[in-house]
Structure 1
Amino acid sequence: MFFPFVPPVRRLPAGSAWLLVALLLAGPASQAQQRPVHPAAGRPLSLNEALDLARTQAPHLQAKAYQVQAAEADIAQTKTQRLPSVRLSGQVSYGSTNAVAGTMLPVGTIIPSSGSLSGVNSYNAVFGSMGTALMEWSPVTFGQYPAQRARAEAARDYAQADADNELFTQQLRVAQTYLDLLATQSLRQVREQDVRRVSILKKTITRLALHGLRPGVDSTLARAAEAQSKLALVSAQEQEADRQARLSTLLGQPGATWQPDTLYNRTLPPALVPPTATHPTLGLQQRAVDLGQARETVIRRQYRPRLSLLGATWGRGSGLGSNGQTDYGLAGAAPTRFNYAVGVGVVFDLLDWPRVQAQAKAENLRTQGLQAEYQQQQLELSNQATLANQRLQLAAERARQAPLQLAAARQAYRQKLALYNSGLATVVDVTQALYGLQQAEQDQVLTANAAWQAVLLQTAAAGDFSFFFTPVTP
């Protein structure tokens, strides 16, 4: 059965808050778990219980919740970018006092040589000091701060939509595996019943062959039929073990054995119209588009200037006196001159336009690709909804025909067996009738299950998992 489990990329659906609260509060408990969680002894595991276990125990759902928290933290970090920057620095140095006039461009590491030009080259060293406090605040960025904030919020919305989509996908996987396990258990029971029936038939044929009433080849064919029946049972047991392990993994429970509720093998779902809802996968895809557009806005606004308010104060000490003396010793390490300055600065990279345009174009093309993926996802979900309706109609027809097939197959088997006991039919006729009975029994036990799987496919296409429980909720 096909489900839209492709995670490409809603307003946020109902249940978003529950996802964070349930997963994050259950995180420490799930990390501390040491043993499987099971329903009460002797009671089947309901589908609702299975979904609750998966919601609170599955590690990858908890990982998605932490990603949402991290995105929230990024928003908080973005808000702090509006705060002013205050940098304090200080140093004490010991070095020569030669100064050279001239201009140096700000490339690499610059070691300033302050003071007036000395008459001669001297290697006499003195102590010096410098302490600064520089404040810079950019209250006007011409939309750069709001764009960064919008990008952080779009990233948070995407993380939330990703968590919601993963939760919905997990619910679908759990329900699918739950129904598959129930179907394989029913199939295994049919195989066990068939093994018992074939074993009795083999004993009867062998006894008739030993008394010379039937040819010896009949007993050989009977043994082959018994072996084939047992092999079919082993295959069913392998499938059941595989579904058990898969369900345990989805529920976050190591080495558990589950007994699903047989309700989904005993009752047929009524025909219902799926609700109109925003599909989580489409919601995730739309959030990806929104995030791409927010990134493009940030890139384009990088070209805008920044207006900054500046303020600074600093103190300067030097072991070189105004008369050129250099014998002040450690006294030069103490600041002796103090200054302050305030100002307004504008930073604008005039030639940055080609780089910004190229980056923005690349981001815009990526966003257009995400929009195309959104349309593709819409198409797939629409076709899946049509397929689900067709499967549900076919399941209803199968439910009408399966009992008739089973009754006819049972009658045909009894008739062939009676004819064989009377010597009017061959063992091949009996085994063919037996095979028809096996298929009829298998179709009968899987009829209701197949109908519920069709409803699950409808649920996957609709994007609202509550729809699946509508037929069985009082």
Structure 2
Amino acid sequence: MFTNHPLRLCVLAVCCLCSSSAGAQVLTLKDAVQTALNNYGTIKAKAYYLQSSQASVKQAQREYLPNVNISGQQDYGTVNGQNGPLYGLNGLSVASSGLPLPKQNWNAAFGASYLANINWDFFAFGRAKERIKTAQATAFQNEKDYQQEQFRQGVKVAGAYLNLLAAQRLTRSWERNLERADTFRAVVVRRVKNGLIAGVDSSLANAEVSNARITLTKARDLEQEQANQLAQLMGVPAQTFQLDTLFLTRIPSVLTDTANMADHPILNFYKSRIALSDEQQRYIRTLQYPAFSLFSVYQTRGSGFSSSYAQDQTAFNHDYWEGIKPSRSNYLVGIGVTWNLTGILRIHQQSSAQGFTSKGLQEEYGLIDQQLKAQTVLADTKMKNALDNYHEAPVQVKAAGDAYLQKTVLYKNGLSNLVEVTQALYTVSRAETDRDIAYSNVWQALLLKAAAVGNFDLFMREF
């Protein structure tokens, strides 16, 4: 029974290796952005809003079709007629027909009515056309809203990705700083034990190691915050990400873009809002004009009362089938016009209100356009500064590393003190963090440029 244990151990080892390999899968920037576009709730919601507005366009187009109604009813009741005025208020009165009789009676029989009706507002001074255009403008706005939401989310995810990558590199730098501090502490402790230096140096070295640990813990905390932010933007559970770091060792191949800012997704969205408001105003104006209608009715009726019932009150039949069988029919074809004259006053104010809304939207568009142009100038400046720091950072790191090495050698030989070594250690740590930030800032500046000009592909083409 023990012969299968080696095989089981091999299988378990293979499974563990596969699991480890899967867990260490590198998340590329393109994968992160695509995952966010597929998962993020706001994008999904706006996709549904777009589908809803597209369906509303079809509904608006079919609103122009004539109304075709059919109805049928079968009743049982009396037919006592009476001379006198009556208004069918809210359709609550009874439409029983019959000649007025000398006195009330309660003779009852079955009756029926079957009707087909066509009613078509065939001309209303462009009202139907403007209704369709308004629905189309709404769909167009929702489409641009969906596109600008995708653009915004892509920029947010890319920014979070770069922030997490920078945080991870800073964590590695502070880990190396802790290693240097711990190694140097061992040297100090050994020299103190040998009586070569004062004991206070070991206390100071221990303090530096503790400070390095605290700084590393803060860096890890920041890294976790950035990982959590990236997970939220991607629409996935919080987890540890292994990111692609290869691109940080180079600068982008394209640093400028000549894209037309008029095609900026955010500006296009604000343009669509103005277009929708203008179209709504044009539709509102059509409401002040009359509507011409074509109508047609065909009706057939059945009754259990005979045509001689007015002279002979016994000439009626209780038979159900005789009462509902059609016996008289009528048709009607006509054309009409309706015009609410007082509505002109209301529509005028409603149109004015919509016009002011359009002007407000135009001001919002102008503000966004101004902000994006300012952001473009800022992005160019940040790119120039980031490139300068990118080229300068390695020089600082090498110089700081050389200085630290010299100070530690001098300290070991009693030619330097702990304060000078500590200062050199700080210089190395600062140089490494400056380098990590400088590398990340180049890509952050490119992302800012892409966001400002509205061309996210300018950034994504680098990956």
TM-score range with shorter-chain normalisation? 0.7 to 0.9
Map Cα deviations across residues 318-376 of structure 1 (whole Å, 9 max, x no partner): 33333332541133333321111111121211111122122222222222111111000
Q: Does 1:305 align with 2:290?
A: yes
Q: Distance in 2 between matches of 1:231 and 1:127?
A: 95
- The secondary structure found in structure 2 opposite 1:329 is coil
- Please point out which of 277, 284, 302 is paired with 1:292: 277
CA shift at 1:206, angstroms? 2.4
Q: Distance in 1 between matches of 2:240 and 2:215?
A: 22
- Please point out which of 245, 249, 256 is paired with 1:262: 245
CA shift at 1:148, angstroms? 0.6
- Please point out which of 360, 366, 373 is paired with 2:351: 360
- Structure 2 equivalent of residue 319 of structure 1: 304
Q: Does 1:447 align with 2:438?
A: yes
Map Cα deviations across residues 128-179 of structure 1 (whole Å, 9 max, x no partner): 2222111112221210111011011101111111111111112111211121
Q: Does 1:107 align with 2:89?
A: yes
Q: Distance in 2 between matches of 1:467 and 1:45?
A: 20
Q: Does 1:389 align with 2:372?
A: no
1:3-22 equivalence runs, <5 A: none
- Please point out which of 372, 381, 386 is paired with 2:363: 372
Q: Comparing 51-60 with 179-188, which one deviates more in the overlay?
A: 51-60
- AA aligned opposite 2:447: L
CA shift at 1:463, angstroms? 0.3
- The secondary structure found in structure 1 opposite 2:91 is coil
Contact 1:158 1:284 in 2 (8 A): yes
Q: Distance in 1 between matches of 2:354 and 2:89?
A: 31
- AA aligned opposite 1:98: N
- Structure 1 equivalent of residue 335 of structure 2: 344
Q: Distance in 1 between matches of 2:116 and 2:141?
A: 41
Unpaired runs of 5+ in structure 1?
1-37
Count of residue pairs the alignment pairs up:
435
1:42-191 equivalence runs, <5 A: 44-111=26-93, 112-191=95-174
- Please point out which of 404, 409, 415 is paired with 1:413: 404
- The secondary structure found in structure 2 opposite 1:273 is coil
Contact 1:39 1:45 in 2 (8 A): no
Map Cα deviations across residues 171-221 of structure 1 (whole Å, 9 max, x no partner): 111211121121111111111111111111122222333344333332222
Contact 2:373 2:452 in 1 (8 A): yes
Q: Which has the larger radius of gyration?
A: 2
- AA aligned opposite 2:459: F
Contact 1:307 1:344 in 2 (8 A): yes
- Structure 2 equivalent of residue 401 of structure 1: 392
Change (3 A) 1:105 1:352: farther
- Please point out which of 191, 206, 211 is paired with 1:208: 191
Question: TM-score, normalised to structure 2's length?
Answer: 0.87
Q: Does 1:219 align with 2:208?
A: no
Unpaired runs of 5+ in structure 2?
1-19
Contact 1:140 1:307 in 2 (8 A): yes
- The secondary structure found in structure 1 opposite 2:237 is coil
CA shift at 1:392, angstroms? 0.7
Q: Distance in 1 between matches of 2:99 and 2:357?
A: 57
- Please point out which of 428, 453, 460 is paired with 1:462: 453
- AA aligned opposite 2:438: T
Q: Comparing 439-448 with 403-412, which one deviates more in the overlay?
A: 403-412
Change (3 A) 1:48 1:304: same
Q: Distance in 2 between matches of 1:205 and 1:65?
A: 64
Q: Comparing 285-294 with 352-361, which one deviates more in the overlay?
A: 352-361
- The secondary structure found in structure 2 opposite 1:54 is helix
Q: Distance in 1 between matches of 2:304 and 2:388?
A: 102
Q: Distance in 1 between matches of 2:344 and 2:407?
A: 88
Q: Distance in 1 between matches of 2:460 and 2:110?
A: 82
CA shift at 1:39, angstroms? 10
Contact 2:302 2:326 in 1 (8 A): yes
- The secondary structure found in structure 2 opposite 1:194 is helix
RMSD after superposition: 2.4
- AA aligned opposite 2:203: T
Map Cα deviations across residues 229-260 of structure 1 (whole Å, 9 max, x no partner): 11221222222223323333333443554322
Q: Distance in 2 between matches of 1:59 and 1:328?
A: 68
- AA aligned opposite 2:142: A
Identity %: 34
CA shift at 1:294, angstroms? 1.2
